[in-house]
Amino acid sequence: GAGVSQTPSNKVTEKGKYVELRCDPISGHTALYWYRQSLGQGPEFLIYFQGTGAADDSGLPNDRFFAVRPEGSVSTLKIQRTERGDSAVYLCASSPDSGGSDEQFFGPGTRLTVL
């Protein structure tokens, strides 16, 4: 079916506000990843879910960032007390992975701007 979808496509917020970014993976894909990409840089790993659990959250920069995937499908990345340095494109990817490293397919991203 459809590819990875992300909403919103753009989000402008003020410093200190709370934001939620949503990712809907490819149907049947068990693995889901969040990345952050700044201008001129490659995607930076944030967190990886296998099913409902966060298998690796070592890329989350601090405790203002949190992500959930309660039913093993849609995931939400939550950022509290946003800072201007959080401005970036947040990318979500999914893969059909069943235990080994596998190809990841990206959504269109959410451009977050913190004023």
Count of residues touching another protein (by CB under 8 A):
28
Is 59 a binder of another protein (CB under 8 A)?
yes
Q: Which residues of 69-96 are buried (b: 16+ CB within 10 A; e: fewer)?
A: beeebebebebeebeeebbbbbbbbbbe
Q: Is the Cβ of residue 52 or residue 80 nearer to another protein in the bound state? A: 52
Is 96 a binder of another protein (CB under 8 A)?
no
Binding test (CB under 8 A) with another protein, winner from 43, 69, 79, 114:
43
Is 42 a binder of another protein (CB under 8 A)?
yes
Is 34 a binder of another protein (CB under 8 A)?
no
Is 45 a binder of another protein (CB under 8 A)?
yes
Given the rule CB under 8 A, which residues bind another protein? 31, 33, 35, 40-45, 48, 50, 55-56, 58-59, 89, 91, 97, 100-109
